[in-house]
């Protein structure tokens, strides 16, 4: 929060969304399709956030085993991406993302919906009158500019706008440790027929890595092997290795993370080429432009979701969607036992068929600000349930709900607390959202 500055206004809208990742896209499409004038501000030149600029390989499973629970915008985008990728959408499985197809699809969808997108703007301050945000300030190619609006949505994933507006937040565990990030990457030149045949004989990439670890010859102390996911006949995207001990909201730490992340990717490229059948000619094509940071701020909201909500498969009167992804807290350190535990907890907390928990609207309302909503990775939650809510399908769902709520709030002097759960849920159901 800063003193009011006399700066040129770059743009104005009823609903201003900061961040064009899953939450921001959900919000922008839902708000624009509900008739609002919507501005979507994104620091990069592409929409999709970690799904595209971050090269995260897959959408988490979209079904609770009985139905596709992330209805509305996510379902529409996922089905259309699968159609363009010429693959069957497997709702109970992880869905590979082709980032170039997805980027293009998002461009088309925002243009069709009439969302005004501004790329290359980095929001870096907020201007408030009391507890109401009047404008965000952004570094643009022509200098520092104001963007004014009635309702704001913080879809930065980092709860940045909320923090700039004075909202309290939590970070990591009691000791301030957060999940370790990963630099995702794309590879080409893979013979998947050979790789799959070897995996069936027990020689998968994961099994081979484990053998090296046990022999003490693994090139990195990495006990949590995630994935290399096929996206076209000969290419794959990786989510491998971690950058330990990094703080995702510290510029110096982030810089170290990007460099260390690229080093780790090269180590894995070498591992695959030397050890894994089918990867003899693998080539690293690209590392991600956006580092895969899993955990930063969790804002203080009107309702703080907890692991107890996960355990009791909570139902809320103001719920705007449901989530069925397990507790998935990646380790903060190279401690082998801690790393192995991640996969054990993931398996142990998996829901049975048809089970899920509700996400209340109040978890997106930050304490202390009148006209701001925070969907996506930074919403109000304890660490355990955040590790479930942070995956992309629920981020689209909370984004979509924030977009519709922002339109309703714009008609109530921007006050997000004036939005009644009844009409909000009715509109969301009309968009295909699913909740109890």
Ligand X SMILES: Cc1cc2nc3c(=O)[nH]c(=O)nc-3n(C[C@H](O)[C@H](O)[C@H](O)COP(=O)(O)OP(=O)(O)OC[C@H]3O[C@@H](n4cnc5c(N)ncnc54)[C@H](O)[C@@H]3O)c2cc1C
Cα(50)–Cα(168) distance, rounded to whole angstroms?
A: 25
CA 257 distance to own-chain centroid? 18
We find the least distance from the C-beta atom of residue 123 to ligand X, in angstroms, to be 4
Residue with smaller CB distance to ligand X, 277 or 304: 304
Tokens 């759960």 label which residue?
Answer: 421
CA 295 distance to own-chain centroid? 10
Phi, psi of 300, rounded to the nearest 5 degrees? -85, 115
Residue with smaller CB distance to ligand X, 44 or 171: 44
Which are the contacts of 290, defined by CB distance < 8 A and separation ≥ 6?
Answer: 44, 49, 50, 53, 54
Tokens 């996510």 label which residue?
Answer: 74
Residue with smaller CB distance to ligand X, 181 or 414: 181
Residue with smaller CB distance to ligand X, 41 or 370: 41
Residue with smaller CB distance to ligand X, 194 or 229: 229
Cα(415)–Cα(417) distance, rounded to whole angstroms?
A: 5
Residue with smaller CB distance to ligand X, 100 or 426: 100
User: Which residues are 299's β-sheet partners?
Assistant: 169
We find the least distance from the C-beta atom of residue 47 to ligand X, in angstroms, to be 7
User: Maximum Cα–Cα distance for the chain, whole Å?
Assistant: 68
Residue with smaller CB distance to ligand X, 327 or 392: 392
We find the least distance from the C-beta atom of residue 403 to ligand X, in angstroms, to be 12
Cα(309)–Cα(357) distance, rounded to whole angstroms?
A: 7
8 Å CB contact between 153 and 365 = no
8 Å CB contact between 133 and 126 = yes
Cα(349)–Cα(103) distance, rounded to whole angstroms?
A: 33
We find the least distance from the C-beta atom of residue 56 to ligand X, in angstroms, to be 4
We find the least distance from the C-beta atom of residue 131 to ligand X, in angstroms, to be 21
We find the least distance from the C-beta atom of residue 407 to ligand X, in angstroms, to be 19
We find the least distance from the C-beta atom of residue 140 to ligand X, in angstroms, to be 11
Residue with smaller CB distance to ligand X, 194 or 262: 262
When CB distances to ligand X are compared, the closest residue is 21
* β-pair type (357-360, 319-323): antiparallel
CA atoms within 13 A on the CB side of 387: 22
We find the least distance from the C-beta atom of residue 331 to ligand X, in angstroms, to be 13
Judged by the rule CB under 6 A, the positions of this chain that interact with ligand X are 18-24, 41-44, 49-50, 53, 56, 58-60, 122-123, 155-158, 160, 181-182, 184, 239, 290, 292-294, 376-377, 390-393, 395
Q: First and final CA of the chain: distance in angstroms?
A: 38
């Amino acid at each position: 929060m800063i003193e009011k500055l006399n700066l040129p206004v770059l743009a104005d809208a009823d609903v201003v969304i900061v961040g064009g990742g899953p939450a921001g896209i959900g919000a922008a499409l839902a708000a624009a399709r509900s008739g609002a004038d919507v501005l979507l501000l994104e620091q990069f030149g592409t929409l999709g956030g970690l799904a595209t600029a971050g090269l995260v390989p897959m959408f988490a499973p979209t079904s609770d085993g009985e139905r596709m629970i992330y209805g509305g915008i996510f379902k529409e985008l996922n089905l259309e991406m699968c159609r363009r990728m010429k693959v069957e959408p497997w709702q109970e499985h992880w869905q590979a993302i082709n980032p170039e197809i997805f980027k293009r699809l998002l461009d088309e969808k925002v243009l069709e919906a009439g969302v005004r997108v501004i790329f290359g703007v980095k929001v870096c301050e907020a201007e408030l009158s009391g507890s109401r945000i009047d404008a965000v300030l952004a570094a643009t190619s022509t200098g520092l500019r104001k963007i004014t609006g009635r309702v704001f949505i913080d879809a930065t994933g980092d709860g940045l706008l909320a923090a700039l507006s004075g909202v309290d937040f939590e970070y990591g565990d009691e000791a301030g440790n957060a999940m370790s990030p990963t630099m995702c990457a794309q590879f080409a030149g893979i013979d998947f027929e050979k790789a799959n045949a070897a995996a069936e004989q027990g020689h998968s990439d994961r099994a081979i890595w484990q053998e090296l670890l046990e022999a003490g010859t693994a090139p990195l102390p990495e006990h949590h092997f995630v994935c290399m996911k096929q996206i076209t006949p000969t290419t794959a995207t990786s989510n491998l290795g971690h950058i330990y001990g990094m703080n995702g909201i510290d510029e110096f730490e982030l810089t170290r993370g990007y460099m260390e992340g690229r080093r780790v990717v090269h180590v894995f490229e070498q591992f695959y080429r030397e050890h894994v059948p089918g990867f003899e000619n693998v080539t690293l094509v690209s590392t991600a432009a956006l580092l895969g940071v899993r955990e930063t701020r969790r804002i203080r909201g009107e309702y703080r979701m907890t692991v107890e909500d996960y355990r009791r498969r909570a139902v809320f009167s103001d719920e705007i969607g449901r989530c069925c992804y397990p507790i998935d807290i990646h380790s903060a350190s190279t401690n082998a036992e801690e790393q192995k535990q991640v996969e054990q907890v993931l398996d142990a907390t998996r829901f049975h068929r048809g089970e899920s928990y509700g996400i209340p609207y109040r978890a997106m309302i930050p304490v202390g600000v009148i006209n701001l909503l925070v969907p996506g990775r930074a919403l109000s939650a304890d660490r355990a349930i955040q590790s479930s809510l942070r995956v992309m399908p629920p981020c689209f769902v909370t984004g979509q709900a924030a977009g519709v709520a922002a339109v309703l709030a714009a008609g109530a002097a921007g006050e997000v607390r004036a939005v009644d759960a009844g009409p909000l849920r009715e509109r969301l159901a009309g968009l295909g959202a699913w909740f109890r």
